[in-house]
């Protein structure tokens, strides 16, 4: 018996959102690029064969590569300096 993965398991393995994996599986299925070992059951549930994981991963990476530069901003680091004043130094009389 072949091990098959759910969409959530596959998303966890690929470190991608479940919706991205679902979109990849749907599109690859419509293009007939998935093997017959992967199949849809129920309404939106899929069982993905290990042979199709690489195709799905490539699809997800290509889509993320297209959208990543547009959504990624420059990182700014702000430093907050807190100066603690010595109360005794403020109240001492000057000599």
How confident is the model over 60-79, as pLDDT tens digits? 998 887 775 544 566 788 88
Q: Where are the beta strands (DSSP E) in 37-81?
A: 39-41, 45-47
CA gap 16, 10 in Å, rounded: 8
CA gap 45, 48 in Å, rounded: 10
In a domain, 94, yes or no: no
In a domain, 31, yes or no: yes
Cα distances from 26 to residues 50, 76, 81, 83, in angstroms, run: 16, 38, 52, 58
Query: The whole model's pTM is what?
Result: 0.63
Structure tokens at 10: 């596959």
Domain range for 18: 7-69
pLDDT band at 55 (very low <50, low <70, confident <90, very high): very high
Percent of the chain with pLDDT over 70: 81
> How many of the other CB atoms lie within 10 Å of CB of 38?
21
In a domain, 74, yes or no: no
Cα distances from 16 to residues 32, 65, 88, in angstroms, run: 22, 12, 57
In a domain, 30, yes or no: yes
Of the listed ranges 9-13, 30-34, 85-89, the one predicted with least confidence = 85-89
In a domain, 75, yes or no: no
CA gap 64, 28 in Å, rounded: 16
């Amino acid at each position: 018996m072949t091990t098959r993965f759910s969409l959530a398991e596959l998303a966890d393995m690929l470190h991608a959102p479940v919706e991205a994996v679902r979109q990849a599986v749907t599109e690859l299925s419509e293009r007939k690029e998935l093997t017959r070992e992967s199949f849809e059951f129920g309404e939106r549930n899929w069982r993905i064969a290990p042979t199709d994981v690489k195709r799905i991963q490539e699809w997800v990476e290509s889509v993320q590569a297209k959208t990543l530069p547009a959504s990624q901003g420059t990182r700014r680091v702000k430093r907050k300096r807190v100066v603690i004043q010595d109360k005794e130094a403020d109240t001492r009389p000057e000599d």
